[in-house]
Amino acid sequence: MTLMSKNNIIRMVAASLSTLLLIAGSGCGSSATSSESSQAQSITEETLVPGTLTIATGEPAYAPYVIDNKPESGKGFESAVAYAVAEKMGFTKDHVKWTRTTFDAAIAPGTKDYDMNIQQFSITPERKKAVDFTPAYYNSTQSVLIKSDSKYANAKSLNEIKSGSIGAMVGSTSYTFAKSKIKDDIQTFNDNVSLAQALDSKQVDAIVFDTPAAVQAIQSGQIKDGKILGQIEGSTDPEGAGIVLPKDSKLTKAASKAVTDLTKDGTMKKLQETWLKEYNDIPVLK
């Protein structure tokens, strides 16, 4: 065999090996893409209504979390968060359906009529026994609201309002902080609507809301002639608020990854700056 013949054979073998490697590599990439697509497809079929993501919020839902009580608009912090998470999970906006639940029913044990629920649910060990949570998408503080003509209107500390009657929503983080930071005897109400009405009608001297909701309660006139006395020192929710899912939901992993990814890429921060930027310059009550 001549040298030229040997060289030709070597070139032919090398070319054949390269072609085989390219085909093999292409096959692996196609398999990975197919696997990811299949996984996304399986998630969309695990919902209450296959292909549709049913998201619940409160009734009514207030700004700045939902604007004009219309979560489907995508306007408001939690409405925007919900749509961002849904998109990461593979659901377009027209494949999201909204429903309403009470706060207590949403985190009670048992079957649910939603795939996800978002309405400022603080993540707690007790609640985790009944439902699943995503990682936190926001860590709020708590604020004290009073009437402008209240005898406590000029109070500068929590100690100055201890003699008054204080209200908070039952089972809420607001109640937990009111009880631990102000006084043990806190009057409870079933929802924020009845809580605001109690202050408006002077059934109680002060109420505790999460800070963004407190600002909106004043600005919207929900509480007439109301005043935010200040934020409760040390009331930043350490666990934060997470999206709720039914216990052991097949969507929990995908929803949690979506929240984590949106936090890492800066989307959550941008949404907070868009919808919650005016709620930071409020005095602190020690």
Token duo for residue 182: 């102000």
DSSP string, 110-139: S--S-SEE-S--B--HHHHTTEEEEEEEE-
CB atoms within 10 A of CB 26: 10
Nearest Cα to Cα of residue 65 among 115, 119, 107: 119
Query: What's residue 141's pLDDT?
Result: 93
Query: What's residue 252's pLDDT?
Result: 98
Q: Phi-psi region for residue 112, left (φ > 0), alpha (ψ -120 to 50) or beta?
A: beta
Domain ranges of the chain: 53-139+238-280, 142-232
Average pLDDT, the chain: 87
Residue ranges, the chain, pLDDT below 70: 1-41, 280
Fold: same for 53-139+238-280 and 142-232 = yes
CATH fold for domain 53-139+238-280: D-Maltodextrin-Binding Protein; domain 2 (3.40.190)
CATH fold for domain 142-232: D-Maltodextrin-Binding Protein; domain 2 (3.40.190)
Q: Which 3 state secondary structure label does DSSP give 263? A: helix
What are the residues facing 188 on neighbouring strands? 168
Q: Before 71, cis peptide (omega within 30)? A: no
